[in-house]
Amino acid sequence: MTRAPLAETPSPNWTPDQPIVRIADVHKSFGTFEVLKGISFDVRKGEVVCIIGPSGSGKSTLIRCINALVPVTAGSIEVEGIDVTDPRLDKLALRRKVGMVFQQYNLFPHKTALQNVMMAPIHVLGQEKREVEARARALLAKVRLAGKENAYPGELSGGQQQRVAIARSLAMRPDVMLFDEVTAALDPETVKEVLVTIRELAEEGMTCMLVTHEMNFARDVADHIYFTDRGVIVEHGPPATFFASAQDERTRRFLSQVL
Amino acid sequence: MSAPDSQGRRPGDLPVLLPFALPKDRAASRLRPAHLRLLAGLAVVAVPAWAQGGAAALSPLEVVIKWAPLLLTGFAFNVAISLMAMAIGTVAGIGLGLAMLAEGRILPRLAWCATQVFRNVPWLVLLFFVMFLVPFQITVFGLRVPLPDWVKATFGFSLPVMANVAEIVRGAVRSVPNTQWEAAESLAFTRRQTMWRIILPQCAKRMLPPWMNVYSLIAMATVQASIVGVTEMLTLTAQVHAAEGGRPELFAPLYGFALLCFFLYCYPIDRFTAALERRFETR
Amino acid sequence: MIATIQAWFQQLYETTGFNFTIFYDPYDWDRYVAGLRMTLILGISTILASLVIGAVGALLQSGPSRVLRALVNGFVVVFRNTPPLVQIFFFYFGLGTLLPDIRSADGLRAPILNNVQWAIISLSLFAGAFNVEIFRSGIEAVPRTTVEAAEALGYTRFKAYRYVVLPLALRVCLPALNNNLINLLKTTTLAYAIAVPETLYAVKQIWSESQNVLEMMLVLLATYAVLVGVLVWIMHRWERALRIPGYGR
C-alpha cells in the first residue's frame, strides 16, 4: 500500500495521536425535514467504523457531510484538523485526504478502468503521468483487476466496477476512506469480492468509515459500530458487545430484522 | 424529441448511451410573458425612425396595422398550402414507408432510395425542381387541367413531407417489438392483416409527435414559395413595402410582423407536440 | 484527361441533346465551382458558429443569472418557431438597412455587413437556437451522481465540466446534433433569396443562360446528395470514434 507521507499535506493543528475525524453535534436539514439531529463521535487513525441503521436514518447524509458533498446545517466536522464546515474550506485539500466510494460506483463511463484511476491525480493534483500510470496499474492489480486496465466500465460487472472505483479513490492517496453502501447495488455473488478488497484495506491500517447493511462483515471488520435511527446515534460500541448485548429497544428490533 | 427533425430520425434509431436518457421536457422553451414582449419589440424595432418620418409618412406601426388584413390573407394562404402539402405528403409517405417495409427485394430498395433523396435534398431545391420541370398544364383524358404555380408549389412541399413521413412510419413500425409479429403470425394473421390491425394501431400514437414536428417545419417552409414566384405572405410583405415608398425603416416592422404571425402559429404546435411526447413517454 | 471529359460531354450534347454545359464550358464550370465554394463557406462557417452559439447558450442557461437565462430562452423559442427565410430577410433588410454605412477604400458607401455575412449570421443564429436545446438536454442527461464522484475526487466545478460532463454530454447529444447540422447545410440554400452566389444561385444562372434546366437540376440534386452524404459520413465517423464500448446500444 502506497501512502502519502504526512509531511506532504501538513495540517497545522493536528497530530496523528488525535482523532483523524471529529464529528461534533452535527445537524442537517433538507428544508424543514431534519435528517441529522446532533451526531457526535470521533474516529481515530487506523480505525474501522461501521454505521448501520434503517434506511432514511441519515447514514448516507452523514458520510456525505464528511467530505463536504453536503453542507451541514449546524455543528462541526474536522478531518485532520481541517474544519469541513468552514465557509472558506479548501475542498481540494479536504478531498485529498478523504476518498469516497459510492453505491452506484459512479465511474466515468467514457474512460477505461486505467484512465478512471489515473484521471484525478493528473487533472487535480497535476502529478506526472508516467508515475501515476505505474501507481494506477499497481492499484488495479491490488484490487485483483490486472488485465482489465483497458476495459470500459460498461464492459465490467458491478463488482469489478466497484473495485475500480475503490482503486480510483486510493489513487489520490487518501488518509480516510468513506464507503457509502458500496455493496447495496451488487449481485450477491460479487459482494464478496468487494468486501475482501475493503477488508484488506482495513487490515493495512487505512482509516475506514462504512455505511453498510452487511452485518456479518461489520461484525468481522469493524473496530466500532454506530447504530443510527431518525437522525441520532442510538447506540454504539465494539462489535462484540454491540451485537451480543444491545441495550436499546430500537437497536434490538433492527438487529432482529437484519440478522 | 428536441431535435429539429426534418430528417425524421427517431431517437429509437440512435445509439443513445445506455445509462442516460435524453430528458424530453422543454422547460427552457416554455413561453413566458417576457418572450412575447421580446417578439413584440422585434416587430416595432424601427419605432425611433418613425419619429423622424415626418407628417406625411405613416409610422411603421400604422403601416403594419393598415396592411395587416392583406398580410394576414397571405398568411392564411401559407397555412392552406402547408395543410394541403401535409395531407398529400402524409398519404404518399405512409405508402412509401410501407413500401420500405414490404417483403421482396426491389420495392423496399427503391422506396429507400426515394426516401433518402427527398430527405437529403434541400427543400428549396425540390421546390425549384417541381416548379421548373412540371408543366403548367396537364392533359387528363383529353381534358386540359391547368396547374397554377401554387398547386405546383404545394406538390413541391409535399415531396419532403412524404420522405419524412415515410421515415417516421418505418421507424415506428420497427420500434414495435418483434414478438408482436410472432404473436400475430401464430394467430394465423396474414402479413397485411398484422400490419394494419396490430402493428400500425400501436405506432399511431408514437408517430404523432414527429409528424407534428414535420408539419411545423413545412408550415415555416411555405414562405420559400415566394422565391419561386408564388404570391404568399412574404411576397405581399415585399409588395406592401414597395407600396409604402420603400422606406428602409419599414423593413424590420414588416418582416417582424411576418415573424410574429408564424411564431403565434407554430409555437403552440411546438408546445403541444412537446406535451404529447411527455404524455406518451410516461405510459 | 480534362479534354477527354469535355469532348465526351460535348459529344453527349450533340448526339443526345443532354447539355451539361458545366462539363465542357469552362465559363459555366467556373461559375459552378464558385457556387460550390460559396456553399462550403456558408456551410462550414455556420456549422462552427452555430456550435459556439449552442455551447455558450447552454452554458448561460445553466448559469446563475436569471436575466441571461430568460434572454437565452427567448432567443431559442423565437428562432425555433419562425421561418429561417423570414429571419434572413429580417436581418438583411430590416437590420442591415438600419446600420450605418461605411466608406470603403475607393470612397464608395458600402454596408457594414454584406449579404454573405448576414446570411452567415442569421443561419448561425437559427441553427444555434436548436443547438442550445440539444446541448442543454445532453448536459442534463449526465447523472448528478457522476458529477458528485468527480467532486469527491477533488475536481473543481470547471474541471468536472471539462473532463467529465462535457465529454459525456457530447456523446448523448451527438445524434440530435448530426440531424441539426445536416439540416443547416440544407438550409444554406435560403441564402439564395438575398442573392448570395451559392450553388443554387450559380446553377440557376447557368440554366437561365444555357437553357438546360433539366440537366442542371440533376447536377444540383447530385451536388447536394454528395455534400449531405459527405457530412453524414463525417458525423458518423465522429460518432463511431466517440462510441464507448459496453455503452452503445
Cα torsion C88, C94, C98, C100: sign:
positive
Q: What percentage of chain C reaches a pLDDT higher than 70?
A: 98
Lowest model confidence (mean pLDDT) among A183-197, B27-41, C54-68: B27-41
CB A225 within 8 A of CB A240: no
Residues contacting residue A183 through CB under 8 Å, at least 6 positions apart: A162, A191, A194, A195, A212, A213, A214
Which chains, if any, share at least 3 CB pairs under 8 A with chain C? A, B
What whole-number distance in Å separates Cα of residue A163 and Cα of residue A146?
11
pLDDT confidence tier of residue B9, bands split at 50, 70 and 90: very low
Q: How near does any CA of chain B get to the CA of C42, in Å?
A: 14
Cβ neighbours for C174, distance < 8 A, ≥ 6 positions apart: C235, C238, C239, C242
Phi, psi of A187 (to 5 degrees): -65, 145
Q: Where are the domains of chain A?
A: 17-258
B17 touches chain A (CB under 8 A): yes
Q: Which of A196-210, B191-205, B265-279 has the lowest mean pLDDT?
A: B191-205
Query: In whole angstroms, what is the distance from residue C63 CA to residue C58 CA?
Result: 9
- Tell me the per-residue pLDDT of A63-112, one tens digit each, with 9 for 90 and over: 999 988 889 999 999 999 889 988 888 888 898 899 999 998 899 999 99
* Contact residues on chain C for B270, CB-CB shorter than 8 A: 80-81
- For B58-135+145-282, CATH number out of 3.30.70.580, 3.20.20.210, 1.10.3720.10, 3.30.360.10 equals 1.10.3720.10
Q: In which band, very low, low, confident or very high, does the pLDDT at B29 lie, cut at 50, 70 and 90? A: very low
Q: What is the mean pLDDT of chain C?
A: 89
Which residue of chain B has the CA closest to A107?
Answer: B19
Give the β-pairing of A224-229 and A48-52: parallel
Partner-chain contact A125 C154, CB within 8 Å: yes
For residue A198, give the nearest of A185, B112, A211 by alpha carbon.
A211
Residue B20 forms contact with A (CB below 8 Å): no
pLDDT at B15 over 60: no
What is the per-residue pLDDT for B282? 58
Regarding beta strands A176-180 and A98-101, do their DSSP bridges make them parallel or antiparallel, or are they unpaired?
Answer: parallel
The answer to whether C153 contacts A155, with C-beta atoms less than 8 Å apart, is no
Q: How far is A34 from chain C (nearest CA, A)?
A: 22
Query: What DSSP character marks residue B65?
Result: H
Higher pLDDT, B191 or B124: B124
Classify the complex by whether its ipTM is higher than 0.90, answering yes or no.
no
> Taking CB atoms and an 8 Å limit, are B133 and C217 in contact across chains?
yes
Residues B20, B22, B24, B27, Cα dihedral to 10°: 90
- Phi, psi of C234, rounded to the nearest 5 degrees: -60, -45
Residue A234: phi and psi, rounded to 5, are -80, -40
Superfamily for the A17-258 domain: P-loop containing nucleotide triphosphate hydrolases (3.40.50.300)
Residue B70 confidence (pLDDT): 92
Q: Taking a C-beta distance cutoff of 8 angstroms, is the pair A237, A225 a contact?
A: yes
Residue B32 has pLDDT above 80, yes or no: no
C29 in contact with chain B, both atoms CB, cutoff 8 A: no
CA nearest to A167 within chain C: C153
Instruction: List CB contacts (< 8 A) between A109 and chain B.
Output: 17, 19
Give the number of residues written for chain B: 283
Of A62-66, B33-37, B245-249, the poorest mean pLDDT is in B33-37
Rounded to the nearest 10 degrees, the angle between the axes of helix C26-61 and helix C199-210 is 160
Show residues of chain A in contact with C152, CB under 8 Å.
Answer: 67, 69, 95, 99-100, 102, 169
C-alpha cell at A88: 472558506
Residue B69 has pLDDT above 60, yes or no: yes
Give the pLDDT confidence of B195-214 residue by residue, as tens digits: 888 888 888 888 899 999 99
Contact status of C149 with chain A (Cβ, < 8 Å): yes
- Cell 466536522 belongs to residue: A77
Look at residue B151 and tell me whether its pLDDT is greater than 70: yes
C-alpha cell at C245: 464500448
pLDDT score of B25: 43
Q: How buried is residue B89: exposed, middle or buried, by Cβ count under 10 Å (0-12/13-18/19+)?
A: buried
Indicate the domain borders of chain B: 58-135+145-282
Residues of C in contact with B30 (CB under 8 A): 73
- Kindly state the DSSP code that residue A192 receives in the 8-state scheme: H
pLDDT-based confidence at residue B56 (cuts at 50, 70, 90):
low
Q: Where are the domains of chain C?
A: 2-242
Is the CB of B94 inside 8 Å of chain C's CB atoms? no
A1-49 pLDDT tens trace: 444 444 445 566 778 888 899 999 999 999 889 999 999 999 999 999 9
pLDDT of residue B30: 47
- Best B1, B167, B239, B263 member to test C by mutation, with max C CBs in 10 Å, is B263
Architecture of the structural domain at C2-242: Orthogonal Bundle (1.10)
CA distance C179 to A37: 53
pLDDT at C102 (0 to 100): 76
B247 and C CB contact within 8 Å:
no
Interface of C with B in 77-106 (CB under 8 A): 77-78, 80-87, 89-90, 93-95, 97-98
The stretch B275-280 carries a mean pLDDT of 85
Split at pLDDT 50, 70, 90, the class of C59 is confident
CB-based contact A52:A29 (threshold 8 Å):
no
A61-70, A129-138, C26-35, C56-65: segment of lowest average pLDDT: C56-65
